Amino acid sequence: MRDTRGFTLLEVLIAFVIAALALGVMFEGAVGALRASHTAAQYDEAVARARSRLAMATSGGALMPGDWTGDDGGGYRWHLHVAPIASSTPHPAVGSPMPLALYSVSVTVTWPDGDQTHEVRLVSEQIGQPVSGG
């Protein structure tokens, strides 16, 4: 009978190498999935913050054209931009003498992630009374 111990050892070593390569690929996939999950959570957080800023800007009071920026904590920064798009003057025959304006309201939330900067931007249009200048 021939001695096959050498071939068995070689087969076991090859099996270990294949298993190590497979584990490396699986580990890389798991790390990529964790990274993607973390990025998705950051985007969810940024969208929630942007929605909150947009709701605060458009609820209740008069819209003031301009730009505002601030720090929202946790590395998130926001920028609010309000600009008039169009305005109307009421017709004298109409009962309400109130002029109206259409405003573009946008909120951008940015945050750093390593060497990249991510951003989420929400845009809305809102009707309000124009700010009289003068």
40 part of a folded domain? yes
Q: Is the dihedral of CA 112, 52, 78, 86 positive or negative?
A: positive
pLDDT tens digits, 2-42: 565 566 888 888 999 999 999 999 999 999 999 999 999 99
133 part of a folded domain? no
Verdict on whether the full-model pTM lies above 0.75: no
* Residue range(s) defining the domain that contains residue 124: 5-128
56 part of a folded domain? yes
pLDDT tens digits, 83-105: 999 887 766 666 666 778 899 99
Q: Where are the alpha helices (DSSP H) in 1-134?
A: 5-58
CA 114-119-124 angle, to 5 degrees, is 170
Number of compact structural domains in the chain: 1
